[in-house]
Amino acid sequence: MNRASLDKLFSEAVCGSSLLIDASDTDYIDPGVLSLIRDFKNNRGPARGFSVSLHGFRRRYNLGDDIQFADYSTRELQDRVTPEQVLEILREGNLRFQNGRRLTRDFRRQVYATAERQTPLAAVLSCIDSRVPAELVFDWGIGDIFSVRVAGNVLGSKSLGSLEYGVGVAGVKLVLVLGHT
């Protein structure tokens, strides 16, 4: 972790963003860098509307894991969210996608975190020949959507079975049909 690079990142980040600082792969962090991270987490970040999460810091740094936002769907989130809230999350993600302001996600961490179990919030029926996956269109992470893709969005017995699985087994809260155009 380079102090100048981190300071530049913190200064240039879009106000109101969610930021995850992951130190899991570090062997040593300079005290000056730790001071910068603490200041951003506790003072500068909140003053600019940032949600700052910490992950993987060694015990000696006195910066425990503190996740302020979900960067992938969890069972707890799936249990408490309503279908209306899922629809709103989809709308917000699609707006970010349209405006080119997609969230930066730690896909490696998501792959490991969802390896044993995925808890998608929505099942999305979309066209198989679409050139944009639903996860991109709605700016969601790995395992957040139960994706069913079929030619022309025509619901048949196999795609219906997939949607039934998404609702009955995976526990999605919303089924969305994504229009072809």
Render pLDDT for 1-10 as a digit per residue (tens, 0 to 9): 789 999 999 9
> Are residues 155 and 100 part of one domain?
yes
Q: What is the pLDDT of residue 130?
A: 67
CATH code for the domain in which residue 138 is found: 3.40.1050.10
> Are residues 110 and 50 part of one domain?
no
**Residue 17, domain extent:** 3-61
> Are residues 90 and 36 part of one domain?
no
> Are residues 119 and 167 part of one domain?
yes
Mean pLDDT along residues 72-85: 81
User: Would you tell me how many other CB atoms lie within 10 Å of the CB of residue 134?
Assistant: 24
> Are residues 120 and 42 part of one domain?
no
> Are residues 97 and 55 part of one domain?
no
Q: What is the pLDDT of residues 18-51, one digit of tens each?
A: 788 888 888 899 999 999 999 999 999 889 888 8
Structural domain count, the chain: 2
> Are residues 167 and 81 part of one domain?
yes
Q: Which one is predicted more confidently, 84 or 109?
A: 84
> Are residues 83 and 157 part of one domain?
yes
> Are residues 161 and 105 part of one domain?
yes
Helical axes 3-12 vs 31-39, angle rounded to 10°: 10
Domain assignment present for 95: yes
> Are residues 100 and 171 part of one domain?
yes
Q: What is the pLDDT of residue 84?
A: 93
Mean pLDDT along residues 72-100: 85
User: Six-digit token pair at 17?
Assistant: 């963003």
180 pLDDT higher than 90:
no
165 pLDDT higher than 90:
yes
* E strands, the chain, in order: 18-22, 51-55, 122-127, 145-150, 174-177
Tell me the pLDDT band of 173, cut-offs 50, 70 and 90.
very high
The answer to whether the pTM exceeds 0.85 is no
The CA R_g of the chain, rounded to the nearest whole Å, is: 19
Q: What is the pLDDT of residue 151?
A: 82
